[in-house]
């Protein structure tokens, strides 16, 4: 990737829509736009002659042939997302129209952007740090209002601010230690040593607090996988439809209707939950149904929560007992369905997991089930303060390495291990925590982060 290139891409989702947007960024962005754009309005101007942050009406043309009627926005560096000159073309949103407009832009001097390259340029040009860049992706992929709130907090720099404070604290201690290395014949004064240790111990406690947010952060970003299991015809598909709020799975009194796993995401008390409706767990002579059961078992292995559905209007069957035993050590909720019918189900006294009674026929108990799902995957109340700082798996790895290196430094300073070894561990800690905001990065790290972005972002 070269920052002296001018890049372009479609910035809106693929498909037919009323409008689409093509973004151009780079040193020649306005010149490229000049070659494509014919002003048509009385107050419209060529992009290179237009004032910054103005919109102009005109047409995209190629060899005197009109491609589309458009609006073109002109934004001059540094007051842009990438801190480069930017032109954005808003055209009609047909698949062919959008492609032809992009083709004209590429034919006039821009190259097609790589995935995430606009955001990568924003990072490299100092517009945002690496944690904020990741928040852009989180924002785009948010599936609930809570995940959106968490992404906005990270984009606003709440996490970055605290990480930078932590790094500054570690750098301050490192400066003292390295200064002491210049005078090896003198020991660190006792009161100075205690101050340095206090700073490092505060840093460790702060990292412990951040690391505790990793699980909740992962839940908001990717959701929780919850498998709905049980023997055939106990109401699994009906339950899925109720939780989703629409008819997704086929419901039938014929056992074995669901022959494959069905995955859909629902908003449960603000948390994204990926529900997996599995084929009824039973032995079958039908090869297709056997494959569905095999896939159900594979889905169960990946699930973080199990909703075990039982028919409350029938006695416990041998299959029910088998699966109660099989899932005994998994995080689960026992869902006793059909409570609108006379009860005949009795659970063994040693059955673990919370019990919720529902009726898919009347929707009774479904709100209580949603509360139970939330309580099973999220500890405590969901409050706005929870989302100010919430790390992802990459941050978690970097913080763990920082924590380990800082703990080794504390041990070294307490046991009079040579200062050069303590300084070495502290440099490891500073570099590791710097990875979170991009103070210390490699091309491979940047590639792995930005390749997950879409082309237009």
The length of the chain, given as a count of residues: 457
- Per-residue pLDDT band at 255 (split at 50, 70, 90): very low
Neighbours of 195 (CB within 10 A): 14
Cβ neighbour number for residue 343 with a 10 Å cutoff: 12
Fold of 7-128: Gyrase A; domain 2 (3.30.1360)
**pLDDT value at residue 215:** 83
Q: Is the pLDDT at 282 greater than 60, yes or no?
A: no
Which residues have C-beta within 8 Å of that of residue 259, sequence separation ≥ 6? 279, 288, 289, 291, 292
Tell me the mean pLDDT in the region 288-293. 59
Q: Which residues pair with 24 in a beta bridge?
A: 8, 87
Average pLDDT on 150-166 reads 91
Task: Report pLDDT for 265.
Answer: 87
Confidence (pTM): 0.78
Q: What is the pLDDT of residue 254?
A: 40
Helix (H, G, I), strand (E, B) or coil at 437: helix
Mean pLDDT, residues 215-223 taken together: 83
Say if residue 286's pLDDT is above 60. Answer: no
pLDDT tens figures, 119-156: 999 999 999 999 999 999 888 888 888 888 888 888 88
Q: Is a pLDDT exceeding 90 seen at residue 335?
A: yes
Of the two residues 107 and 1, the one the predictor is more confident about is: 107
Q: Three-state DSSP class for 66?
A: strand
Q: What is the pLDDT of residue 279?
A: 59
Average of per-residue pLDDT values in the chain: 86
pLDDT at 250: 41
pLDDT, position 187: 63
- Residue that the structure tokens 């590429």 belong to: 106
Q: How far is Cα 176 from Cα 173, in angstroms, rounded to an integer?
A: 5
CATH 3.10.20.310 is right for the domain spanning 132-213+390-437: no
Residue 284, pLDDT above cutoff 60: no
The residue to which tokens 């086929």 are assigned: 250
Q: Per-residue confidence at 22, pLDDT binned at 50, 70, 90?
A: very high
- The pLDDT, as a whole number, for residue 251 is 43
Q: How far apart are CA 138 and CA 457, in angstroms?
A: 12
Q: Is the pLDDT of residue 252 over 70?
A: no
Residue 453 CB neighbours (<10 A): 21
Between residues 422 and 301, the one the model is more confident about = 422
Give CA separation, 159 vs 13, 164, 205, 222, 388, in Å: 29, 9, 16, 19, 7
The CA dihedral of 318, 322, 324, 325, to the nearest 10 degrees, is 140
> Span 174-202, mean pLDDT?
81
Strand pairing partners for 87? 24, 74
For the chain, give every domain's residue range: 7-128, 132-213+390-437, 224-377
- Pick the residue with more confidence: 384 or 89? 89
Q: What pLDDT does 69 receive?
A: 96
pLDDT at 387: 65
**CA separation for the pair 195, 203 (Å, rounded):** 12
Structure tokens at 261: 């796993």
CATH 3.90.105.10 matches 224-377? no
Question: What are the pLDDT digits (tens) for 57-87?
Answer: 999 999 889 999 999 999 999 999 999 999 9
**DSSP category for residue 354:** E
């Amino acid at each position: 990737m070269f920052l002296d290139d001018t890049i372009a891409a479609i910035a809106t989702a693929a498909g037919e829509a009323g409008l689409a947007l093509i973004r151009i960024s780079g040193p020649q962005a306005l010149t490229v736009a000049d070659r494509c754009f014919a002003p048509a309005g009385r107050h419209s101007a060529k992009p290179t002659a237009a004032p910054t942050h103005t919109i102009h009406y005109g047409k995209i043309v190629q060899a005197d042939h009109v491609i589309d009627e458009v609006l073109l926005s002109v934004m001059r560096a540094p007051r842009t997302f990438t801190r480069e000159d930017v032109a954005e073309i808003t055209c009609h949103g047909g698949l062919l129209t959008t492609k032809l407009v992009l083709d004209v832009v590429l034919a006039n001097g821009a190259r097609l952007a790589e995935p995430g390259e606009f955001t990568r340029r924003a990072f490299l040009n100092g517009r945002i740090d690496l944690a904020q860049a990741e928040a852009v992706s989180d924002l785009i992929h948010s599936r609930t209002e809570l995940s959106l709130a968490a992404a906005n907090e990270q984009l606003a720099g709440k996490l970055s601010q605290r990480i930078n404070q932590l790094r500054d604290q570690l750098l301050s201690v490192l400066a003292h230690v390295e200064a002491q290395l210049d005078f090896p014949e003198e020991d660190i004064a006792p009161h100075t040593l205690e101050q340095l240790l206090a700073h490092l111990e505060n840093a460790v406690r702060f990292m412990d607090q951040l690391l505790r947010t990793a699980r909740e952060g992962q839940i908001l970003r990717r959701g929780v996988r919850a498998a709905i299991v049980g023997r055939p015809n106990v109401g699994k598909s009906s339950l899925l439809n109720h939780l989703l709020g629409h008819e997704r799975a086929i419901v039938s009194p014929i056992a074995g209707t669901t022959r494959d796993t069905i995955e859909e995401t629902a908003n449960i008390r603000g948390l994204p939950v990926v529900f997996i409706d599995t084929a009824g767990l039973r032995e079958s002579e039908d090869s297709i149904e056997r494959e569905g059961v095999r896939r159900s078992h594979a889905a169960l292995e990946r699930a973080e929560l199990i909703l075990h559905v039982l028919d409350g209007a029938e006695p416990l069957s041998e299959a029910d007992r088998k699966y109660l035993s099989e899932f005994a050590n998994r995080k689960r909720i026992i869902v006793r369905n059909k409570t609108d019918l006379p009860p005949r189900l009795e659970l063994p006294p040693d059955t673990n997991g919370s019990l919720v009674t529902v009726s898919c026929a009347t929707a009774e108990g479904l709100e209580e089930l949603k509360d139970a799902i939330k309580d099973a995957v999220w500890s405590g109340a969901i409050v706005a303060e929870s989302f100010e700082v919430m790390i992802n798996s990459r941050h978690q790895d970097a913080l763990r390495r920082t924590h380990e290196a800082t703990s080794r430094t504390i041990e070294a300073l307490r046991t009079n291990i040579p200062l050069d070894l303590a300084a070495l561990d502290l440099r490891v800690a500073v570099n590791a925590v710097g990875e979170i905001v991009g103070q210390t990065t490699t091309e491979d790290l940047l590639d792995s982060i930005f390749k997950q972005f879409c082309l237009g972002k």
